[in-house]
Amino acid sequence: MAKNDDEVLLTGSPEEWGFEGSGLNYELILKPGEVTMGHFLNLGDSYQMLISRGESIAYPRLPCNELHAMIRVKSEVRQYLKELINVGCAHHVVLAAGDAWRELQKTAELMRIKTVVVE
């Protein structure tokens, strides 16, 4: 996931789960390249799948005790965020390296889940 092993730090977990100790986490920034983002959103009586594509860009690792990435999307950032807000999206998405758009689209189709593509 990282550009190379030297770019990965082992850190304590930034999450507080109510347990003693801090756990173990990886801190790294995703290597540059094409990415696909997805998310299932529970709409109450149904679900929808968000699918979005972008490009992970080279950026220095941030000291945040987490895996992270800087993603460039096709549209202007403000427009992209407005569209995300309009279609609905939670605060986390799943990110896959490479173009997994067709696979996600087919998965949603087989599950009879509406897809929303935001680019």
What class, spelled out in words, does domain 5-117 have in CATH? alpha beta
Please provide the distance, in angstroms rounded to a whole number, between the alpha carbons at the two ends of the chain: 23
Q: What is the pLDDT of residues 6-31, one digit of tens each?
A: 999 999 888 777 777 778 889 999 99
The SS3 call for residue 25 is strand
Sign of the dihedral through C-alpha 2, 80, 91, 97: negative
Specify the pLDDT at position 118.
95
Name the residue among 84, 65, 68 with its Cα closest to residue 76.
Answer: 84
What tokens does 73 get?
């999307």
Please state the rounded mean pLDDT for residues 51-68. Answer: 93
Sign of the dihedral through C-alpha 26, 32, 35, 40: positive
Name residue 93's amino acid: V
Name residue 3's amino acid: K
Rounded Cα distance between 76 and 11, Å, is: 34
Q: What is the pLDDT of residues 63-113, one digit of tens each?
A: 998 889 999 999 999 999 999 999 988 888 899 999 999 999 999 999 999
Specify the pLDDT at position 4.
87
Specify the pLDDT at position 18.
79
Report DSSP letters for 80-94, one per residue: HHHHHHHH---S--E
Indicate the pTM of the whole model.
Answer: 0.84
Specify the pLDDT at position 31.
95
